[in-house]
Structure 1
Amino acid sequence: MSETLTGPKTVSPFWKVGKFFLFVLLGFLVFGTPVKDPDFFELRFIYWSDWIALVLFIRALLVPFETRILRTARVGCLILLFLMLVLSSLPNAWHAAIRMQNNNNLKGLSLAFLEYAEEHGGTLPPHRVGAEPDANGHFPHSWRVYLLPYLGENELFGKIRLNEPWDSAWNRQFHDQMPKVFRNPYFSQTYFPGPGREKIPPKSASSYCVCVGEGALFPENGPGPNVSEFTGRKHLTFLVAESDPACWMDPAHDIFFPAAFADPAVPRGFRIYGNSYKTFSVSMLDGSVQNTDDVKDLLKELDASSEDTSRSER
């Protein structure tokens, strides 16, 4: 009985090429999968679908080819795909870094407010407008000016003359010396996206405001509130919000709360910066930062939580 010997099974090169492009195609399909969670890139710079696509591309790299030309072409193709994968993830990393810096700005301002209050018997900076000085001879100045010593800007604070109006001939020289913490990172000299928005904003323009007037933390015109009045509700109280731009030293550059929602469809004074992340950010009196797609929805949630807190305290 004779035994037939067979050599190694050969695989058609067309099948190998087809297998290679199958993995590449699957990689592209997964790579293009949209991520529904807009906050996902806060946790990772690359989407989960990108990692799966990378695995598929690597699997395509492992498809064996006998000829040198095909092997070289395969390596070159996959290097190009890998570069596309990495480069496409850079915008996500950039937006994540920008958003993190924005939140850090808001947290830093909140902490500066609380440090100011700690040194002033629990009272926050005054919100005074107008052209008349107070009993100490100090003219109305923005809360941003009063926070300078608590933001490491003692030298700048020492140069500003509180006994002169904020826009006096002397104080105007400091308008363009605004600390970066008063500006959303998106809001820069070279990149200011959004239809109908300024292309090159002035160096003096701040994009953070407090809310004033009835229903807000600060009065429209008067001394600052005492944080002890908000015990148990600090996490529900607006402190600093993203806003329309104006001079950082202008004491009137804040959001007048009663008029902000005169038109329920378009909140006035608030602003969302950036084209790729449509998120409004606001810091609370407890130092936390809230992010939302709609400021009206956030206010409704805070109102509901405030009512629940009030009932539980009774």
Structure 2
Amino acid sequence: FKKAFKYTLRPQGQDIIRTWLYYSLLRVYQLTGKPAFKWVRITGMGLDEKGEAMHKSKGNVIDPEPYIDKYGADAFRYWAAAAAKLGYDYRFSEQVIRTGYLFATKLWNIARFISMFPQPSKEPELRPIDKATIAYLNHVLKEIDEAYSELDVYEPINKIYQFTWNYFASHYIELVKSRAYNRDNKFSPEEQEAAWYTLHYVLNRILRALAPIMPFVTDAIYRRLYGKTVHLEKFPDPDPEWLKEDYSLALVVQEINSAIWSYKKKHNIKFKEPLKTKVYLPLEAEKSLKELVELHKLENIEFYDEKSISELENKLRINNVFFDEQ
């Protein structure tokens, strides 16, 4: 029995549940009194780009080699995970493979930026946006960990992508870039070190969480930055203490950034140019005012709360930000 059924997991398609799976389980149990497998991971049918089931007789079976040669193995694995929602058919998509390639490139560029700064040996006094970012990440890690435990790779790859690209790279890094460099000494050494710590904290855990799906780029980055292979590291379990922390500031800042960038683009103002228009920000954003002013070059700011928001009805509103019309 141990020689014939030495694996605890059987991956298969849903088309052979009633035949191969049923009879294998039934026959083995009747003969040995033991289950053939502990886990069965069931996927749907593989579909071509038109949504038709792939069959050799149809001539629509996709050869992965040209796509792996063009985009890399990690990009192909990204597609396999992003398309592999448990129990559902998975459609081939070169566009999703290309997204995986771009994501690997984004990770490399993030790591190249962070590699310019030392990794603090201990946690310094963090700024509010640093705390919110770390708390946000730990909530994402909790969801990823739960999904992996259910043999699900669809949720982890999508949650890692969304957090890394849509928040960490696009908002947090942009917000703390000036603090990390601190070329004009507008931030204290402690505030600068807090940015370094948070950048490394987040990237390190993203790489470890992503390694099962995109093993090559994560290992290459991890070796360069941290001097060892990511594949012998412990999975980044969510920190219970950080799970208690509120991360709403991260989402508030994300909306503010998007709103101000949208306003500047609409009014042909370069992103690095000062914004002379008066802006009204939610009161919670005051915790990250220093970074927001530095990033967006804000010159005229007022805060509002739930009581005073009604007074801004005649202002231009984008997301959670109000603007005086020019």
Alignment TM-score > 0.5, same fold? no
Q: TM-score, normalised by structure 1?
A: 0.24
Q: Tell me which structure has the larger Cα radius of gyration.
A: 1
Greater share of helix: 2
